[in-house]
Amino acid sequence: MQSMPVFVIKRLLYGVLVLLVLSFVIFSFIRVIPGDPVRMSLGPTVSEDVVERMRSDLYFDRPVVVQYGHWLQGVILHGDFGQSLYTKRAVADDIAEFLPRTIELALLAAVMILVFGILLGTISALFRNSWLDNTVRLLSYLGVVTPPYAFAILFMLVFAYYWKVFPLGGMPSLPPEIQSTGMVAFDALIHGRFDLFGDALAHLFLPAVSLSLGSIAYQARIHRSSMIDNIGKDYIAFANVVGVRRRTVISKHLMKPSFIPSLTIFGLQVASLLGNAFLIEVMFRYPGFSRYSLSVIMAKDPYGIVACTLIFGVVFAIANILIDLGIAGLDPRVRLRTTE
């Protein structure tokens, strides 16, 4: 069988191929959608000569294959995703400004999903059929069926409007001298500006909770089912018979195999956070990448749409590779199959 490095290289090459096909398909579909993005960008009062000149500058008067080749060459050689018709600046600059903020929001939501999803699932499984288990199961059902925007409206009304515990929306800006990564809370923390760090976390908290609650509920259900399934396995019964302490059985023999299905679901949930965050970012007026993606789609911005699609594809590809590596680290049988 193939070694782990060979497996990773193959997955990376496969991911690159998928991203190329995806970007070309999106690039082609945008050209057949009714409406002229250049005319939409310049407005109805601009003369046709100016519109045609801009089409020529953007290669929009060439065949789709030529346009895509020009765009792909700029991406590979210069990191240039083209000029946005929506923001009137380079798409790469837009990505550099908006993507770190959504990554920061998604990371906070991911931590909440991992910690609370596993914790609630473990409690529910260990106290199966008790009032505690029934409570967790009821809350998880409510969390799965309730859309994130409903949580956002509730939290905004209760915690931001009535009680005024958290800000209603937006995100504080940082002085230019401490802007390093584009992630507001992280930049404030590494520069020792704890006042700005606390303010940024306060602005992040309600959007992150609204975004993560449904995934927390689903994660708890998956982890509960996995633990209940493993509790009945022979090796758990043997460990109990020979007198292994209950805490050791749970931590060393039960949690590790039970975490494998949870890790798979968790990785996919984290990857989807960027795409699912657009409504949350709009409601909380959060200046993130998902909100930017929705704006370029509404404006039919060709280069912006393709770049956003490519970013989402890259996130999913990386998430899938990390999931495979995480499962291989948890399950020795996977490691053996990849090294034989």
Give the residue-averaged pLDDT of 278-306. 87
Give the residue-averaged pLDDT of 170-177. 86
What gap in Å lies between CA 299 and CA 291, rounded to an integer? 12
pLDDT at residue 5 above 70? yes
Q: Among 2-16, 61-75, 173-187, 200-214, name the one with the lowest average pLDDT.
A: 2-16
* pTM of the predicted protein model: 0.85
Assign 201 a pLDDT band (cuts: 50, 70, 90): very high
What gap in Å lies between CA 216 and CA 113, rounded to an integer? 5
Give the residue-averaged pLDDT of 249-271. 80
Question: Which pLDDT does position 211 carry in this prediction?
Answer: 92
The answer to whether 275 and 313 are in contact (CB under 8 A) is: no
What gap in Å lies between CA 230 and CA 252, rounded to an integer? 12
Which tops the pLDDT comparison, 31 or 270?
270
CA neighbor of 152 nearest in space, from 215, 108, 208: 208
Give the residue-averaged pLDDT of 128-140. 89
pLDDT at residue 104 above 60? yes
pLDDT at residue 70 above 70? yes
pLDDT at residue 340 above 80? no
What gap in Å lies between CA 326 and CA 314, rounded to an integer? 18
Q: Of the segments 22-36, 141-155, 319-333, which one has the largest average pLDDT value? A: 141-155
Assign 200 a pLDDT band (cuts: 50, 70, 90): very high
pLDDT at residue 105 above 90? yes
pLDDT at residue 314 above 90? no
Give the residue-averaged pLDDT of 156-164. 90
What gap in Å lies between CA 280 and CA 293, rounded to an integer? 13
Assign 24 a pLDDT band (cuts: 50, 70, 90): confident
Assign 336 a pLDDT band (cuts: 50, 70, 90): very low
Question: Which pLDDT does position 111 carry in this prediction?
Answer: 93
The pLDDT > 70 percentage for the chain reads 91
Question: Which pLDDT does position 128 carry in this prediction?
Answer: 87
The pLDDT > 90 percentage for the chain reads 21
Show the 3-state SS of 210-270: HHHHHHHHHHHHHHHHHHHHHHCCHHHHHHHHCCCCHHHHHHHHHHHHHHHHHHHHHHHHH
Assign 102 a pLDDT band (cuts: 50, 70, 90): very high
Contacts of 277 (CB under 8 A, 6+ apart): 102, 105, 106, 207, 211, 288, 290
First and final CA of the chain: distance in angstroms? 5
Q: What is the pLDDT of residues 233-245, one digit of tens each?
A: 777 777 777 777 7
What gap in Å lies between CA 323 and CA 254, rounded to an integer? 20
What gap in Å lies between CA 78 and CA 80, rounded to an integer? 5
What gap in Å lies between CA 291 and CA 273, rounded to an integer? 13
The answer to whether 206 and 155 are in contact (CB under 8 A) is: yes
Question: Which pLDDT does position 35 carry in this prediction?
Answer: 66
Question: Which pLDDT does position 73 carry in this prediction?
Answer: 86
Give the residue-averaged pLDDT of 133-137. 89
What gap in Å lies between CA 97 and CA 106, rounded to an integer? 16
Average pLDDT, the chain: 83
